[in-house]
Amino acid sequence: MKEDVRVKSSCDEVAVLRRFRRSRDGRGEDFLLVALVGGYLAIFFLSQVLAYWIRFQSVVLRWIPFDGTIFVQMQGDLPSYVPHFQLGLIFFVVSGIYFGIFERSMLLKRGRVVIDLLSTMIVWACFYLLLSLFFRVDPLISRFYCVLVALLSVPLLFLWHRLIITIVWRTSLGNSLRKSVLVIGWNADVQKIVQRMREDFQAPYRIVGAVEFNEHHFETAPPMEFNLGSVGDLRTIVRSSNIDAVLLADLNPSVQDTTYLVNVCHKEMVTFMAIPAFFEVLLSGLRLQSLGGVPVVTIGRLPLEHLPARMIKRVVDIVGACVGLLLAAPICVVVGFLIYRESPGPIFFSQERFGRRGRPFKMYKLRSMCLDADKTDHLSQSTAVGDARMLKVGAVIRRWNIDELPQFWNVLRGDMSLVGPRPERVFHSLQLEDEITHYNIRLAVKPGLTGWAAVNGLRGNTDLNARVRFDIEYIERWSLSFDLYIMALTFVRNRNAY
């Protein structure tokens, strides 16, 4: 009897040590995050000081009235500018929280960091300049000073992030930041998750194994190295394999089995997750709500259904459309002359497309085909390579997306956005909504001049199902930084543009 007590005590001690080790790892992540954020704040503050010195103390710039005011009005000694530094730091924190640069995920992120930091600084500059516009501050805030702060901060913040990332990935800290996941069951969804995690080095999770319920086998066979046994050995596997989360992928467990899994996860202090079998898309919008005291899972509001998000996107659209129209005007004049010389007739071409919530609108393009080509446009979903109706100049402007320039007018009118799913013709939309599952989810947002599917080469005569998947991914993942990232890719990726 005493021996049994000692064995039980030993098992309890192992469990306590196991939980302590997991807790200690969490503190290590917290230390890295504090170092990253602390460095961000210090670098930004120093960037403000350096920008002040360049603007007001350097021999080259101090007497140049960049701000349209005489230097005496702008000049203030360093102590008088300190409150501006402090207020600027507060605005930087607010902007950084909005764009997520202070979150734990930044410890794994390598790509798109520059876009996140640049977005943060653009919003910071807007806040800061609005302050000087609506409130009288002393000394006056120099607009050129704000530009200098942004130009100095982005590369310095990026270098600091790269230093932290290098430390993380050249030590064992990189693997420790990823949570180890044990899967209950195995199916096509899990295989897809494993593949995506192998491709994405920024993934916060890694699947280390799978177990099956005792009464039935895996839906599909996992690789041998992932098969760790059955649910009956769950607690032992969780402890021996250093598991951080358990993912329920089996779609046939009873309520009793599921309750057992949840209880084991609670006792072992690991996260319990489940693949929602009844929801194939819009997973980022899933929300747990209470219905008559009973918890239910439903699809909540998507990012662009929130008013502040739509307002931010609209402001960016208006500014981008105005700049785009100004830059596009001389190009359209030259291209229009070439189009008319090759094929006399209207330079611009309009076609009815579906917009947000299925509202039809006229989309404008520079004509790239012979006159009356649209009369046979309904015969195919996309223009084929080497289409006989194509003008010589039309092939060039379609290759470089120049024919899309008039759509800046659609963006300014509010029919379209700079970024979003590409609009389809009404005839084809009515046909595809019955052929492709979830096709009409694309209509939840405004169509775009460019989009996530387009920059990934999914335009023209390409897989429509894949195109819809990318469009839905964009709708779920929307953020201002994601829009800026897609805009940047538009200038370097033009695959399948014909």
Phi, psi of 25 (to 5 degrees): -60, -40
Residue 349, SS3?
Answer: strand
Report the distance separating Cα 454 and Cα 471, nearest Å: 9
Cβ count near 64 (within 10 Å): 10
Phi, psi of 273, deg, nearest 5:
-130, 155
Distance CA 450, CA 490 (A): 7
Q: Which among 82, 77, 102, 83 has a CA at the least distance from the CA of 92?
A: 102
Phi/psi region, residue 305 (left: phi>0; alpha: psi -120 to 50; beta: rest), is alpha
| pLDDT (tens digit per residue) in 323-372 | 999 999 999 999 889 988 888 888 888 888 888 888 889 999 888 887 76
How far apart, in whole angstroms, are the C-alpha atoms of residue 353 and residue 361? Answer: 6
How far from the centroid of its chain's Cα atoms is residue 443's Cα?
Answer: 19
Q: What is the 3-state secondary structure (H, E, C) of 196-232?
A: HHHHCCCCCEEEEEEEECCCCCCCCCCCHHHEEEEHH
Query: Parallel, antiparallel, or unpaired for β 360-366 and 348-354?
Result: antiparallel
Distance CA 438, CA 442 (A): 8
Does the model's pTM come out above 0.85? Answer: no
Write out the chain's pLDDT in tens, 498 residues: 444 444 444 444 444 444 444 444 455 667 788 888 999 999 999 999 998 888 877 765 555 554 544 443 445 567 777 888 888 899 899 888 888 888 877 877 766 788 888 888 888 888 777 776 666 666 677 778 888 898 999 999 999 998 888 877 776 666 666 778 888 888 777 777 777 776 665 667 778 888 887 555 676 777 777 778 788 788 888 888 788 888 887 666 777 777 888 888 878 888 888 776 555 556 556 666 555 555 556 666 778 888 788 888 998 899 899 999 999 999 999 988 998 888 888 888 888 888 888 888 999 988 888 776 666 655 555 565 656 677 888 778 887 888 889 999 999 999 999 999 988 887 777 777 777 777 788 888 899 999 998 888 887 667 788 888 888 889 888 888 889 888 888 877 666 554
Do residues 413 and 325 touch, judged by C-beta distance below 8 A? no
State both tokens at 386: 């080497």
Q: Residue 415 and residue 196: Cα distance in Å, rounded?
A: 35
Please, which residues bridge with residue 291 across strands? Answer: 294
Q: Would you state the structure tokens that stand for residue 426, as one six-digit string?
A: 């009404």
